[in-house]
């Protein structure tokens, strides 16, 4: 499924919030980390801190900022491949990666086609991670308001047909016409919804 911008948004979400925030590897032979005195002995278990790597400002400037353009082909080419690890890497990486990504895209495409979403006030703006959750999750969950787009478009069409029927109102600015009908939604917002 070729959805370039959605791809970038999902990749950036997985960068900021990798559900599996750490994975492990067993060292099979003694290894000296280049340019350091650190030696990892054979059989030592190593923790790979995905969350920390994906928030390292050396690779992701302003790491707390949500910026899907970090995943443009040009920006990706500038970074080490192993700085984005939400599905792990190597022979034991996630076998469900393609399925997981496809599922996420299908669900998102269907949901945003039919509903408008906005943040509910119950959602904390500075997310606090739940210390008791096995996978990375915000304390208290993410609460959203939903509005069916068909209802919204029906209201919009009704207003438009009413305003075009009366000549003097047709000359009124569209925003005023909308508020005069008591809907309180400026036309510019409607246009954005249709994108
Ligand atoms: C967004 C969704 C998912 C994420 C973020 C995710 C993440 C991960 C990570 C980080 C690992 C460890 C990789 C490593 O050690 O290098 C893993 C392993 C694994 N995942 Fe996923 N996963 C996802 C979805 C799925 C799905 C949908 C399935 C199955 C249908 C799946 C099946 C597996 C299996 C079987 C392993 C173990 C692979 C092995 O040890 O050889 N995952 N996953």
Q: Whose CA is nearest to atom 30 of ligand 1?
A: 96
Query: pLDDT value at position 2?
Result: 76
Same domain, 163 and 71: no
* Residue 156 forms part of a structural domain: yes
- Extended beta strands in the chain, E state: 23-26, 31-32, 39-40, 45-48, 115-119, 144-148
Residue ranges lining ligand 1, Cβ < 6 Å:
19-20, 23, 86-89, 92-96, 99-100
For the chain of 195 residues, list the mean pLDDT of each consecutive stretch of 10.
89 97 95 96 96 98 97 96 96 96 95 94 90 93 92 80 61 40 38 36
Domain stops at, among 63, 94, 114: 114
94 is in an annotated binding site: yes
* Residue 85 forms part of a structural domain: yes
Query: pLDDT value at position 165?
Result: 60
pTM, two decimals, is: 0.79
Same domain, 93 and 159: no
In which domain, by residue range, is 67 found?
Answer: 4-114
Same domain, 19 and 92: yes
Same domain, 87 and 34: yes
Query: pLDDT value at position 147?
Result: 92
Domain total for the chain? 2
CB 5 within 8 A of CB 67: no
* Residue 134 forms part of a structural domain: no
Query: pLDDT value at position 170?
Result: 40
* Residue 44 forms part of a structural domain: yes
């Amino acid at each position: 499924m070729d959805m370039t911008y959605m791809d970038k948004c999902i990749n950036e979400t997985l960068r900021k919030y990798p559900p599996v925030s750490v994975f492990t590897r067993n060292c099979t032979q003694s290894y000296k980390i280049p340019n350091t005195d650190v030696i990892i002995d054979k059989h030592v278990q190593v923790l790979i801190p995905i969350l920390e790597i994906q928030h390292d400002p050396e690779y992701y400037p302003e790491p707390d900022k949500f910026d899907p353009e970090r995943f443009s082909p040009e920006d990706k080419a500038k970074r080490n491949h192993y700085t984005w690890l939400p599905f792990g890497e190597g022979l034991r990486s996630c076998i469900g990666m393609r399925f997981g990504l496809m599922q996420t895209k299908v669900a998102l495409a269907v949901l945003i086609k039919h509903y408008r979403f906005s943040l509910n006030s119950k959602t904390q703006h500075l997310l606090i991670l739940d210390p008791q959750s096995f996978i990375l999750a915000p304390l208290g969950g993410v609460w959203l308001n939903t509005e069916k787009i068909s209802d919204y478009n029906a209201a919009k069409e009704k207003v438009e047909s009413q305003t075009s029927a009366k000549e003097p109102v047709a000359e009124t600015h569209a925003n005023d016409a909308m508020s005069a009908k008591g809907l309180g939604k400026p036309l510019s917002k409607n246009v954005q919804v249709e994108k």
